[in-house]
């Protein structure tokens, strides 16, 4: 596995180093890699933002972040080693003012020695991508560098193309790492392993045996302090075109010639080429009750905090097999899963058992978190003199089988340092995805209000009918959706 390799010497620059993403994910991930011996032998980390902060202040911020958000406690000795690599530049890095960061980079490279590689991580709002990218080119520090862009990469087809042109005016494609942390999840990668390494699954991975596929990423938390960002983005741009589409591609792709980066990325991106363009009838948009009261949200906001979608693939393998995608904030629980629902047998020997109001029992579920694993649900005979069926399941759990998992950000940061782009998104695939959703961006359809702690608007049942959502069977709140007319 690529994450077992030691990266070359590096200087890492985190733009937006005091922000939420840096504190929750990046700094804990880098410390975890340090503790596991997966960082370069010699490296430095430079934090950057406009906020005033000293080197020691940044080290304190890192310690607090690791204590709060990492499963690892900051062992004094190991954190002391890690802290020595940290420095900070308070500076608004832009094309007409690059000297402070450039000087800090030169200083860090002299400390490392030789010609270390450079990794620039843009943990900033997408609106800042063009300015920072142009500044990197202006000050001439793109040699030996790779640049990690967080999602979303663009907000529609036109903005994607504009950003892509700018990025490629400064960087070569092999320097561009468009990150989607869902692709770093072991459970997502296990979809490939289960399917292609086991002869029992690939023969039935098609329209002849699979009725439909569901991809669910509900979140309990609301938008919190990210309301200002979320108001400009929404669930469709923030989650559907990124996380859920990328997971769909892993499920639906054709077998690659090998697991090398280019063949795998080629097959993954071909999935977007065969997606039918979506229409307003293919989505349900929702907004949780109280969203408009959050700071930074317009009082008449039509931004969706929930989206469910029906996606169809126009190819031989998946023709007439709908993919149902669902994600939202303020929902009943946090639980991410991919479920393949198999077709019913052509003749029913046990007709009395089937309840059309319930989700069919013959399905395979990949749990993507928080309890990563695979669950196979089926019917079995109950003990007794008569043939009576009951629901049964078999489970595989990663932690019980293999121990602790490497985190998604750890995996992807490590891959970026060693130059492995397998689990990153390619520009042509993202462009094709924006083409699929552009019609619903132009005409998004109605917006429904749903209560926090629910599973979204009731309109999602009409979207999937006559099928049922995998979870839950019943909602914690019974209600009728209220359609907003202020579109």
Angle at 470 between CA 452 and CA 317, to 5 degrees: 130
Residues 6 or more apart whose Cβ sits within 8 Å of residue 322:
212, 213, 310, 311, 312
Helix axes of 427-442 and 245-252: crossing angle, nearest 10 degrees: 120
Q: Let me know if 34 is a catalytic residue.
A: no
Residues 339, 344, 345, 351: is their CA dihedral positive or negative? positive
Which phi and psi angles does 393 have, rounded to 5°? Answer: -155, 155
Q: Which two tokens stand for residue 104?
A: 């800090």
**Region label for 378, one of left (φ > 0), alpha (ψ between -120 and 50) or beta (otherwise):** beta
Residues 151, 153, 159, 160: is their CA dihedral positive or negative? negative
Query: Of the candidates 337, 149, 306, 333, which has an alpha carbon nearest to the alpha carbon of residue 230?
Result: 306
Which phi and psi angles does 26 have, rounded to 5°? Answer: -70, -50
Cα 403 to Cα 69, 361, 397, 398, 442: the distances in Å are 20, 29, 9, 7, 47
Catalytic residue among 243, 363, 414, 470: 243
Which residues are designated catalytic?
243
């Amino acid at each position: 596995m690529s994450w077992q390799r030691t990266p070359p010497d590096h200087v890492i620059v985190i733009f937006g180093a005091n922000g939420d993403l840096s504190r929750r994910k990046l700094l804990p991930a880098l410390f975890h890699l340090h503790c596991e011996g997966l960082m370069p032998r010699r490296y430095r980390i430079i934090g950057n933002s406009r906020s005033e902060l000293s080197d020691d202040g940044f080290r304190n911020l890192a310690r607090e972040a690791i204590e709060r958000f990492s499963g690892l406690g900051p062992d004094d000795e190991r954190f002391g080693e890690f802290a020595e690599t940290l420095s900070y530049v308070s500076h608004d890095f832009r094309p007409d003012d690059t000297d402070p960061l450039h000087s800090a980079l030169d200083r860090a490279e002299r400390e490392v020695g030789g010609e270390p590689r450079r990794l620039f991580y843009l943990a900033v709002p997408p609106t800042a991508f063009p300015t920072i990218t142009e500044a990197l080119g202006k000050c001439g520090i793109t040699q030996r560098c790779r640049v990690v862009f967080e999602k979303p990469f663009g907000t529609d087809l036109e903005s994607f193309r504009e950003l892509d042109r700018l990025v490629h005016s400064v960087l070569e494609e092999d320097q561009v790492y468009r990150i989607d942390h869902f692709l770093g999840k072991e459970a997502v990668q296990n979809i490939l392993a289960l399917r292609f390494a086991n002869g029992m699954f690939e023969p039935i991975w098609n329209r002849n045996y699979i009725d439909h596929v569901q991809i669910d990423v509900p979140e309990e938390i609301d938008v919190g302090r990210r309301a200002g960002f979320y108001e400009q983005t929404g669930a469709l741009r923030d989650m559907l075109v990124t996380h859920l589409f990328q997971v769909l591609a892993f499920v639906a792709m054709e077998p690659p010639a090998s697991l090398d980066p280019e063949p795998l990325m080629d097959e993954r991106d071909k999935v977007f080429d065969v997606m039918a363009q979506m229409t307003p009838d293919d989505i349900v948009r929702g907004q949780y009750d109280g969203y408009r009261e959050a700071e930074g949200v317009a009082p008449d906001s039509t931004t969706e905090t929930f989206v469910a979608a029906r996606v169809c693939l126009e190819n031989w393998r998946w023709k007439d097999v709908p993919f149902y995608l669902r994600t939202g904030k303020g929902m009943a629980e946090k639980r991410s899963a991919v479920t393949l629902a198999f077709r019913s047998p052509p003749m029913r020997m046990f007709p009395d058992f089937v309840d059309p109001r319930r989700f069919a029992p013959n399905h395979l579920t990949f749990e993507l978190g928080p309890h990563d694993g695979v669950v196979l649900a089926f019917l079995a005979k109950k003990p007794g003199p008569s043939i009576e069926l009951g629901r049964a399941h078999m489970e595989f759990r990663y932690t019980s089988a293999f121990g602790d998992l490497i985190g998604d950000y750890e995996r992807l940061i490590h891959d970026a340092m060693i130059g492995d782009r397998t689990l990153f998104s390619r520009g042509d695939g993202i462009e094709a995805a924006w083409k699929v959703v552009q019609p619903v961006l132009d005409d998004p359809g109605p917006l429904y209000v749903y209560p926090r702690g629910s599973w979204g608007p009731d309109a999602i049942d009409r979207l999937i009918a006559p099928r049922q959502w995998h979870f839950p069977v019943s909602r914690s709140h019974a209600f009728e959706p209220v359609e907003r007319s202020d579109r």
